[in-house]
Structure 1
Amino acid sequence: MSEKQQRLVLSIIQFLNQSIKDGTIREEDKESLEVAVQCIGEAFGVDPADQEQVNRLSVKPATLQTIFEVYLKTKDKIDSNAVQTASGTSSATPASPSTEDKAAAERSKQEGNALMNSKQYDKAINAYTEAIGLDPSNPVYFSNRAAAHSSKGDHLSAVVDAERAIELDPKFVRGYSRLGHAHYCIGDYAGAATAYRRGLDLEPKNSAMKTGLQNSEARIASDGADNARSPAAAPSDSPSGDGGGGLGGLADTLRNIGSTGAGGMPDLASMMNNPAMMQMAQQMMANGGLERLMSNPAVTNMMNRLNDGDGLPSMQELMENPGLRDL
């Protein structure tokens, strides 16, 4: 029995058990389904009560439903493209919008950017959707909407929009960055690595995608070992080799996450949804890194700047501060 088969079976069992608990299944059918779950587990050698096996086989943070949803969205997009192509209208080469439509689309995009800055993600998605309706040939609008989806935690929709942006312009580098980030956040590290590699083929010096690729490859390489251990014992995702407790690893993770809006600091909601960030925060608290951070002179200077009304330093400035890097 291959491990891939067992991972699929565990996902099915978890889906069925959840359906029993949340009331999806009628009361009179629960007992039969519980027997079926037990038989499935025994047939494939999967025991959902064995926590060590569950840690090894789990596909979290993805679930069977989310994986299936990605498939359906992708299939619907492909089917829609096929229908339009058959009718003589290729989705890859939509009819050129008028000058007025392009101008209105840009206004909607700017509105979406402003809404992103104020963290009104649903309204931003609506604004970008309006821009797409006016000018569906512009990959930037799909890329921005992907960022908005990721900011609210809907990384599956972000995957679909990022792929659409790349379909419209295979040389649109930001689309690969959005796609890599979305795949990483749903736990598809192989898909994330592929997206980052494709982007680096076009822009080899892009530091954010280099870091994203390094983090993704690190997760792929250590996937088996990580799943066999509890999350607290898992090694760092950071390619800097500092164990995840220092700010060097934090800096690399911040570079990977980047800004999901129109410039400025990274979006905190997106950062907190990032599994690497959550693990790193836990490690910093466990090994005293947080106390060392708050007592560091570079941090004190940054807070004094804020109190004096000078505002927060830029992300680039933070990343280049030797005091923070050497923490």
Structure 2
Amino acid sequence: MSSVSNKDVALYIINFLKQSVADKTIAEDYVESMDVAIDCIADAFEVNKDDDKKALTQFGGKSLPELLKGFASSSAASSSNDKTDKPSPVIVDDETKAKADALKVEGNRFMASKDYPAAIAKYTEAIALDPTNVVYLSNRAAAYSSARDHQQAIEDAKKAIQLNPEFSKAYSRLGLAEFALGNPKAAMEAYQKGLDVEGETKSEAMRKGYETAKKRVEEQLEDSISTTDRDDGASRGGAGSGAGAGGLPDFGSMFGGAGGPGGGMGSFADMMNNPQLMQAAQQMMSNPDAMQNILNNPAIRQMAQSMGLGGPDGPDLSNLMNNPMFSQFMGRGSQGDNNES
């Protein structure tokens, strides 16, 4: 078909309208309107309406309906092909398969000798020859994991699963790589799918992999709960539950109030065995200001008075600090007792 101009198209349409009137496709009532339309098109495009048949040569001698019918058929066929076109399955001949399998055997030998880069290279060659064999992808995933390239192992394992979802070893490769990258939940899910594929004949490796990943997931959950509890406790406790002046423990609460449990202070031996008191001893001795505030506590005042330190107005700090019994209580005595055995 030669170059088509707008005038050719106008004449082509005029021909269509004339033919429609001639074969009475148009009702008699509209014939006059068609004549007006033809005259208008001819005037607008400055063409001779009687040259309409010459326009057919520009369109292969086909009338407008014939041309459009052919175009519609061609478009429908093209659309149908677009919908049904799928990648053609890769067909590997027996000779190529044999070469690929020989490369796989070489790769297995390199794996046995722990030459993982060489094994990866051989498996890659085998995959290039026969991309339909899921074993080659699975083996290369194992080689990547052995070479500590776990991300590549994951990619190969996923490709293997896509190629054959029933190949259980691919799930094992995926689980191992995910676990090595610190993703125990993903590993557990991969192993679980592998167990599902294996059905009644579950392998020991798959079962152990699943249990190991599951245990790690549970440990992470416990660690998370413990951390949350510690953070909550710290935010609620401030300087510590029962804190007193200077961040030191509230000794009044340790002794059960001014009179102690049952109205008594308890024996000195009981106080010596109180772990909270012993833990705070060194802090108190290094912070006299905080200690003076603590001595205002009625329970502490009563304890000091029971030791003969100070009168009814309260203990004297200098006397109390120099009292041998109190110093020993506070941990300022012989250090030899603190040595580990």
| TM-score normalised over the length of structure 2 | 0.40
Larger C-alpha radius of gyration, 1 or 2?
Answer: 2
TM superposition score normalised by structure 1: 0.41
Higher relative contact order (CA 8 A, sep 6+): 1
